[in-house]
């Protein structure tokens, strides 16, 4: 039995459609991240699950029990959920221990205190039970809010951007601790985030949304290596974009000729190549192999990897600017020449008029229109019609 089920849930604010027939599940003990750009409907979905927003259409079940179906809505306190908000929403007039005991009011005072203290112990905050919330740091407030959400032992935890108030360094530490606490608690978790890396760190499965619609559901590995469309591919990491058209059954790009299976002759496609999918070989390796040569424009160490800016200059066409990412320290000189090899697992081909171009170009649009749309979408690399 699933801990949470959304069945074709739609939601409007006036004329704005915030969610469009969203279906998803969260299994028992599973951590699912709702991921997507700002305004795609993530918080609306979470609020509907919590019962903080009236369901307009569709059905929501928690632990096999119908909690909302557009006709009736169970109130939040009857849903067996633990909530944690972006700003933690600790009650300023209650001490830390009383905050954590808030959801345990049905218990006798002594039992309530014991359970609140146990929850605080789990997050390493037992010494602060008598403190006032405003005297705590952001990281400590986050831990108290998590303890409050976990204290009643809910079946489902709903976390809305739980790390967004923390600085980068603390965030990594806190999200690691949160993942282990949540997993140890056994509660199923639906967590909202707009950061792909955070979702990949936390999630057993990711639900990717765009403009209120489901784009893809999958494990982090599936989402990264088998993106459903160009938007999904670009959302999970930087990509080099190339435009091409199917010619004589192949996709002829300045980098490589690729098989055009599944596409029809003359069809315009968009080819996305992750920077780590471009391998740099010594220039000699290009001899007679048909591999393309590239010139280094700049190379920068980014910590665990290096980013190499490359220029490919095909005869009779505008140069192509590409990014290659190489593990560790790899800093060739400007002007160095390499031959390029593509890792097929990091190359994705989609119809040029696919979702990312819908607003800008429309299906069957010219390569130029698609390129203009790609530029508007913040593409990483300069692309050109081959």
Instruction: Give the burial class of 76: count Cβ atoms within 10 A of its Cβ; 0-12 exposed, 13-18 middle, 19 or more buried.
Output: middle
Residue with smaller CB distance to ligand ATP, 18 or 258: 18
Window contacting ligand ATP (CB under 6 A); options: 12-20, 131-139, 254-262, 374-382: 12-20
Q: Is 5 in the site for ligand ATP (CB under 6 A)?
A: no
- The residue whose two tokens read 């007679």 is 288
| Least distance CB 287 / ligand ATP (angstroms) | 51
| Least distance CB 39 / ligand ATP (angstroms) | 4
Residue with smaller CB distance to ligand ATP, 194 or 309: 194
Among 42, 112, 115, 205, binds ligand ATP (CB under 6 A): 42
d(Cα 220, Cα 200) in Å, to the nearest integer?
Answer: 5
| 354, 243 Cβ separation under 8 angstroms | no
Window contacting ligand ATP (CB under 6 A); options: 38-46, 129-137, 308-316, 327-335: 38-46
> What dihedral do alpha carbons 127, 131, 133, 137 form, nearest 10°?
-50
Which of 185, 148, 189, 156 is CA-nearest to residue 81? Answer: 156
Q: Is 367 in the site for ligand ATP (CB under 6 A)?
A: no
Which of 208, 195, 270, 206 is CA-nearest to residue 239? Answer: 270
Among 30, 44, 229, 340, binds ligand ATP (CB under 6 A): 44
Q: What's the Cα-to-Cα distance from 32 to each of 29, 119, 170, 171, 349, rounded to whole Å?
A: 10, 23, 22, 19, 27
| Least distance CB 7 / ligand ATP (angstroms) | 19
Q: Is 202 in the site for ligand ATP (CB under 6 A)?
A: no
Q: Is 194 in the site for ligand ATP (CB under 6 A)?
A: yes
Three-class SS of residue 256?
Answer: coil
Backbone angles phi, psi at 180, to 5 degrees: -70, -35
Q: Is 87 in the site for ligand ATP (CB under 6 A)?
A: no
291 secondary structure, DSSP code: P
Residue with smaller CB distance to ligand ATP, 8 or 289: 8
Question: What is the size of the binding site for ligand ATP (CB under 6 A)?
Answer: 12
Q: Is 41 in the site for ligand ATP (CB under 6 A)?
A: yes
Q: Please report which helix (H) or strand (E) contains residue 328, including its range.
A: none
Residues 6+ apart with CB under 8 A from 312: 254, 255, 292, 293, 294, 295, 319, 320, 322, 340
Among 3, 9, 18, 104, binds ligand ATP (CB under 6 A): 18
Which of 172, 155, 161, 132 is CA-nearest to residue 46? Answer: 161
Among 5, 22, 43, 220, binds ligand ATP (CB under 6 A): 43
Q: Is 216 in the site for ligand ATP (CB under 6 A)?
A: no
108 secondary structure, DSSP code: -
Residue with smaller CB distance to ligand ATP, 212 or 351: 212
| Least distance CB 358 / ligand ATP (angstroms) | 18
- The residue whose two tokens read 């967004």 is 164
Q: Is 54 in the site for ligand ATP (CB under 6 A)?
A: no
Window contacting ligand ATP (CB under 6 A); options: 13-21, 147-155, 171-179, 232-240: 13-21
Three-class SS of residue 54?
Answer: coil
| 79, 155 Cβ separation under 8 angstroms | no
Window contacting ligand ATP (CB under 6 A); options: 36-44, 72-80, 285-293, 366-374: 36-44
Among 15, 38, 315, 327, binds ligand ATP (CB under 6 A): 38
Alpha helices in 151-202 (DSSP H): 168-185, 196-202
Q: Is 40 in the site for ligand ATP (CB under 6 A)?
A: yes
Q: Is 13 in the site for ligand ATP (CB under 6 A)?
A: yes
| Least distance CB 194 / ligand ATP (angstroms) | 5
Residues that bind ligand ATP (CB under 6 A): 13, 16, 18, 36, 38-44, 194
């Amino acid at each position: 039995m699933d801990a949470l089920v959304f069945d074709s849930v739609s939601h409007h604010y006036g004329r704005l459609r915030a969610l469009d027939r969203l279906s998803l599940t969260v299994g028992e003990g599973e951590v699912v991240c709702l991921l997507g750009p700002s305004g795609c409907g993530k918080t609306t979905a979470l609020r509907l699950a919590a019962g903080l927003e009236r369901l307009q259409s569709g059905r929501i079940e928690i632990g096999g029990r119908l909690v909302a179906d557009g006709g009736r809505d169970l109130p939040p306190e009857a849903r067996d959920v633990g909530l944690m908000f972006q700003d933690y929403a600790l009650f300023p007039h209650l001490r830390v221990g009383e905050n954590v005991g808030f959801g345990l009011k049905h218990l006798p005072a002594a039992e309530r205190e014991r359970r609140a203290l146990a929850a605080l112990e789990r997050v390493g905050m037992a010494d602060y039970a008598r403190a006032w919330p405003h005297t705590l740091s952001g990281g400590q407030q986050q831990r108290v809010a998590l303890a409050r959400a976990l204290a009643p032992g809910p079946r489902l935890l709903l976390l809305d951007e739980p790390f967004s108030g923390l600085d980068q360094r603390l965030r990594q530490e806190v999200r690691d601790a949160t993942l282990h606490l949540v997993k140890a608690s056994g509660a199923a978790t639906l967590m909202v985030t707009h950061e792909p890396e955070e979702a990949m760190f936390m999630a057993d499965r990711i639900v990717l949304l765009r403009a209120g619609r489901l784009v893809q559901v999958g494990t982090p590995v599936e989402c990264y290596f088998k993106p459903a469309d160009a938007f999904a591919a670009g959302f999970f990491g930087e990509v080099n974009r190339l435009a091409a058209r199917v010619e004589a059954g192949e996709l002829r790009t300045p980098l490589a000729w690729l098989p055009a299976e599944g596409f029809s002759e003359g069809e315009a496609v968009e080819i996305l190549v992750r920077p780590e999918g471009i391998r740099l070989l010594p220039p000699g390796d290009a001899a007679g192999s048909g591999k393309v040569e590239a010139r280094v424009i700049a190379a920068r160490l980014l910590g665990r990897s290096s980013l190499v800016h490359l220029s490919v200059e095909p005869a009779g066409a505008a140069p192509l600017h590409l990014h290659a990412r190489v593990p560790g320290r790899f800093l060739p000189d400007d002007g160095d020449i390499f031959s390029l090899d593509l890792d097929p697992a990091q190359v994705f081909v989609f119809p040029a008029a696919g979702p990312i171009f819908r607003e800008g170009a429309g299906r069957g649009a010219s390569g130029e229109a698609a390129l203009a749309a790609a530029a508007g979408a913040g593409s990483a690399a300069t692309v050109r019609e081959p």
